[in-house]
Structure 1
Amino acid sequence: MFSRRQILGGSAALIGAATWTRTSAMSLPEAPIMQEATTQPPLLPSAGPDYNPVVTLNGWSLPFRMTNGVKEFHLVAEPVERQMADGMTAYLWGYNGQSPGPTIECVEGDRVRIFVSNKLPEHTSVHWHGMILPCGMDGVAGLTQPAIPSGKTFVYEFDIVKSGTFMYHPHADEMVQMAMGMMGSFVVHPKDPSFMPVDRDFVFLLSSYDIEPGSYLPRIMEMTDFNMWTINSRIFPDVAPLVVRKDDRVRVRVGNLTMTNHPIHMHGYDFEVTCTDGGWVRPEARWPEVTIDIPVGGMRAYEFDAVYPGDWALHCHKSHHTMNAMGHDIPTFIGADKTSVARKIKVVQPDYMPMGTDGMADMAEMSMPIPANTIPMMTGWGQFGSLEMGGMFTVVKVREGIEPGDYEDPGDYEHPAGTVAYEWTGSLPTAAAAPEGSDEGSSMRSTPERQVMPSGGGHSGH
């Protein structure tokens, strides 16, 4: 069994499985659970080949034990409570205490044995999305295996034949179980540690829910009109930042288990897609991007060299996907005069606040009553004011001097003097004026500090 150190994996939030796991099924590996929706430190391998572990945004990696050369994991499918943001909790289904479930990490060439215990009120299965394995281990209930009844444990065992970025999710009552949050990431590291090395490796899944304001359960029958767009079942401003040391080589792995595509855009950099759930992309097939479309049921990994310090936004570029509790039946009031109608409404509803006549930004800046367990549609504050964001939004924080293994939020970026956009008052500051004799428009050229990245963005060597 795991030692306490192995079970904790550096996190006080990670605890042992429920009592029945330890006592009534002593031959099973422990099934640790996570009680917090916070990013846990990367879980260093305790046995087997070495690898650089991933960091799961607002999540964690599942510990394993070695039994006769086989890596054994234990997933527990169960109802969970997921804090989507401070002030809002969703009643979901997931694995080992959270949704998404823990990330599974292993190495190309490993043999894995994954115990899946079902504590849901109905049967389930697990499909290992993108993995090459025997048909009977593919996890399609009724087709390749019997469904796992409630209260039972099934075993999946197969060899890991390729490295890359994958997922796991049910293939039993899939519409309900995935709509309830049953999913997780599966990362396979290359057998050769010198292949595609990076300094920081992040992973997260995109999921969507329709949760009525004031309620806790997703509406599982919804097909298109979702109102909660999440990164690892978290919504901004409570999605963890990607904390990066300047000059690190960084990989970001993104999976999409919603019902629509998501163009993920990162500010301040160009990058190259280096991996899909189908495998690694050959160098000659890559091209520079600043936005990568993540298809439904797909995974993409992109890489960049963190040479530009700052707080850089990372978000879905579908504007409604950076909103919370989005109501799609609200009429457009831009340009309307609501003065008289607002006066009449306030007679019966004194707290009424007329909004939307000049746009929607005031919704992020004004406090108005909302139902319990509900997050404002637009929220989040930065050092310069309201961000007016939500949903699928977070920040890549690139800093000098961050120690290896340190993923703590470093706070707001301290901008060098003269590098923040400012109000025009009729003249330029002396320092900002073009030097005498320079060409017109010289301010449009790249500054010496911001070198153009070479095509391909080779490894930094750190």
Structure 2
Amino acid sequence: MFNRRNFLGAGAALVSGAAWAQTSNSGLPEAASMDNAATQKPLVPTSGPDYNPVVTLNGWTLPHRVNNGTKEFHLVAEPVEREMADGMTAYLWGYNGQSPGPTIEAVEGDRVRIFVTNKLPEHTTIHWHGMILPSGMDGVGGLSQPHIPAGKTYVYEFDLVKSGTFMYHPHADEMVQMAMGMMGFFVVHPKDPNFMRVDRDFVFLLNAYDIDPGTYVPRIMEMTDFNMWCWNSRIFPDIDPLVVSKNDRVRVRVGNLTMTNHPIHMHGYDFEVTCTDGGWVRPEARWPEVSIDIPVGAMRAYEFDAKYEGDWAIHCHKSHHTMNAMGHDIPTFIGADKKSVAEKIRKVKPDYMPMGTAGMADMGEMEMPLPDNTIPMMTGWGPHGALEMGGMFSVVKVREGISAGDYSDPGWYENPPGTQAWEWTGALPEPTRAKDAKTVLTPKP
């Protein structure tokens, strides 16, 4: 979906200067755009230092051109329509056709020149989160630069003095613009291609929205009660899987630009945190984990060796963050008898279904009428039934023999005989209970 005509050629001479220097439209690199919400293949380098490119989950990498030794990129801040899942689209603000914007990739020691064209209805800037650069390139509107007016293009130009994983987002009307989805990743690969090299390198941002059922635009004033918990503005079941070949060395880089922390948990493996947005973690400072809490405004990268085949869940361990379109004022009906009230309601609404008296799992299988542009709270199907998930949830799919560069979904894993839980139909021993136990079983057996 790239529009890359003449993009990777040498190009004409461009206007350089400070971040606040206005430019003419002549000589601008073409602004590549994307209108596909699927994970795109990594952009393999064709010149300069070698590196293994990252794969942006449900996203893509921004192409660049080289002009007199400087890598030039073109970001366009603009309103976008983002498909969050099949049947639901959000009207957001982003970059180059999507929210989040495309991942920028370069190499330690590169000089980059980034043109930013503002097609928003208000001014903006870009802050390069975690990067070491001149004060005038830091992107704080009113402090380090004038704001970029609507319809204008400004230039940021600086040297990449350290490798690591960074983010970009506005520092102008930040509450509105970030709440509308303006953010992206900036990955700087090490100059030494053998340093911290991995076989598969995934990146995605954590973001959240409050979008009322049947509507399209986020409620930007919300501070805590979000109902759409997203990875790269996508929600399960439409977050792509992380596809891995057995025995690959795998890195997962996760940035958090929501209003709360997220403990990201991966099943089937332990891993080591190897990078933060402050830099690489020394080997002696790493420790084994199965969950890593990612604070607000931070990035954590972890690595593991893909030894174990299977379909392994990866998700935020805050249980409400694996739900969609949640209401926060719903009463709990567990244990309540709703038979009589259900009969009365059906006289007015014949298709009424009483739910919640035995938990909410039945919502994962039932299909109820929903407002337009709304997705069920729990959804998604696996090989053994309803997954009863949503929001920040995906699957790491480890398979034998997946080719390098192949990220296509291999389908569901078939557990070998004797390795899957099964139903027991034999006799059960009487459970042992303490004589002085204070717990009473409800209902009593």
CA contact (8 A) 2:3 2:33 kept: no
The CA distance in 1 between the partners of 2:113 and 2:60, in whole Å, is 19
The CA distance in 2 between the partners of 1:239 and 1:3, in whole Å, is 24
Which residue in 1 is equivalent to 2:86?
A: 86
CA contact (8 A) 2:7 2:29 kept: no
Which residue in 2 is equivalent to 1:222?
A: 222
| Letter aligned with residue 88 of structure 1 | M
Which residue in 1 is equivalent to 2:347?
A: 347
| Letter aligned with residue 383 of structure 1 | P
Task: Rate the CA distance shift 1:123–1:143 in 2: closer, same or farther, 3 A.
Answer: same
- Structure 2 residue 252 is the aligned partner of structure 1 residue 262: no
The CA deviation string for residues 211-236 of structure 1, in whole angstroms up to 9 with x for no partner, is: 00000000000000000000110000
Deviation, structure 1 residue 347: 1.6
Deviation, structure 1 residue 26: 3.4
The CA distance in 1 between the partners of 2:427 and 2:277, in whole Å, is 53
Which residue in 1 is equivalent to 2:169?
A: 169
| Letter aligned with residue 93 of structure 1 | W
SS at match of 1:41: coil
- Structure 2 residue 239 is the aligned partner of structure 1 residue 251: no
CA contact (8 A) 2:3 2:31 kept: no
Task: Rate the CA distance shift 1:68–1:204 in 2: closer, same or farther, 3 A.
Answer: same
- Structure 2 residue 191 is the aligned partner of structure 1 residue 207: no
CA contact (8 A) 1:323 1:391 kept: yes
Which residue in 2 is equivalent to 1:233?
A: 233
The CA distance in 2 between the partners of 1:25 and 1:40, in whole Å, is 29
SS at match of 2:341: helix
CA contact (8 A) 2:71 2:111 kept: yes
The CA distance in 1 between the partners of 2:313 and 2:89, in whole Å, is 25
Which residue in 1 is equivalent to 2:389?
A: 389
SS at match of 1:397: strand
The CA distance in 1 between the partners of 2:113 and 2:401, in whole Å, is 40
TM-score by length of 1: 0.88
| Letter aligned with residue 277 of structure 1 | D
CA contact (8 A) 1:6 1:46 kept: no
Deviation, structure 1 residue 181: 0.2
The CA deviation string for residues 244-280 of structure 1, in whole angstroms up to 9 with x for no partner, is: 0000000000000000000000000000000000000
CA contact (8 A) 1:47 1:66 kept: no
SS at match of 1:34: coil
CA contact (8 A) 1:6 1:63 kept: no
SS at match of 2:196: coil
Task: Rate the CA distance shift 1:231–1:99 in 2: closer, same or farther, 3 A.
Answer: same
The CA deviation string for residues 145-191 of structure 1, in whole angstroms up to 9 with x for no partner, is: 00000000000000000000110000000000000000001100000
- Structure 2 residue 83 is the aligned partner of structure 1 residue 105: no
Task: Rate the CA distance shift 1:7–1:323 in 2: closer, same or farther, 3 A.
Answer: farther
CA contact (8 A) 1:244 1:396 kept: yes
Which residue in 2 is equivalent to 1:126?
A: 126
Deviation, structure 1 residue 346: 1.4
The CA distance in 1 between the partners of 2:3 and 2:183, in whole Å, is 27
CA contact (8 A) 2:55 2:201 kept: yes
- Structure 2 residue 179 is the aligned partner of structure 1 residue 179: yes
Task: Rate the CA distance shift 1:7–1:87 in 2: closer, same or farther, 3 A.
Answer: farther
Deviation, structure 1 residue 6: 7.8
> Displaced runs of 4+ in structure 1, greater than 6 A?
none
SS at match of 2:419: coil
Which residue in 1 is equivalent to 2:189?
A: 189
Q: 5+ residue gaps in structure 1?
A: 9-23, 429-462
| Letter aligned with residue 337 of structure 1 | D
Which residue in 2 is equivalent to 1:48?
A: 48
- Indicate the larger mover: 103-112 or 335-344: 335-344
Which residue in 1 is equivalent to 2:17?
A: none
CA contact (8 A) 1:264 1:293 kept: yes
Which residue in 2 is equivalent to 1:442?
A: none
The CA distance in 2 between the partners of 1:281 and 1:203, in whole Å, is 18
The CA distance in 2 between the partners of 1:29 and 1:109, in whole Å, is 21
1:58-457 to 2 correspondences below 5 Å = 58-426=58-426
Which residue in 2 is equivalent to 1:57?
A: 57
Deviation, structure 1 residue 39: 0.3
Task: Rate the CA distance shift 1:157–1:396 in 2: closer, same or farther, 3 A.
Answer: same
The CA distance in 1 between the partners of 2:230 and 2:427, in whole Å, is 44
Task: Rate the CA distance shift 1:198–1:427 in 2: closer, same or farther, 3 A.
Answer: farther
Which residue in 2 is equivalent to 1:441?
A: none
Task: Rate the CA distance shift 1:266–1:402 in 2: closer, same or farther, 3 A.
Answer: same
CA contact (8 A) 2:3 2:32 kept: no
Q: 5+ residue gaps in structure 2?
A: 9-23, 429-445
Deviation, structure 1 residue 45: 1.4
The CA distance in 1 between the partners of 2:5 and 2:172, in whole Å, is 35
CA contact (8 A) 2:49 2:193 kept: no
CA contact (8 A) 2:76 2:95 kept: yes
The percent of aligned pairs where both chains have the same amino acid is 82
Task: Rate the CA distance shift 1:323–1:7 in 2: closer, same or farther, 3 A.
Answer: farther
Task: Rate the CA distance shift 1:181–1:375 in 2: closer, same or farther, 3 A.
Answer: same
TM-score by length of 2: 0.91
The CA distance in 2 between the partners of 1:26 and 1:312, in whole Å, is 50
Task: Rate the CA distance shift 1:425–1:327 in 2: closer, same or farther, 3 A.
Answer: same
Deviation, structure 1 residue 46: 3.0
The CA deviation string for residues 382-433 of structure 1, in whole angstroms up to 9 with x for no partner, is: 00001000000000000001000000000000111110001111179xxxxx
Deviation, structure 1 residue 25: 2.4
| Letter aligned with residue 122 of structure 2 | E
The CA deviation string for residues 291-317 of structure 1, in whole angstroms up to 9 with x for no partner, is: 000000000000000000000000000
The CA distance in 1 between the partners of 2:344 and 2:139, in whole Å, is 60
The CA deviation string for residues 91-136 of structure 1, in whole angstroms up to 9 with x for no partner, is: 0000000000000000000000000000000000000000000000
| Letter aligned with residue 159 of structure 2 | D
The CA distance in 2 between the partners of 1:143 and 1:3, in whole Å, is 35
The CA distance in 1 between the partners of 2:376 and 2:114, in whole Å, is 40
| Letter aligned with residue 301 of structure 2 | A
The CA distance in 2 between the partners of 1:72 and 1:338, in whole Å, is 64
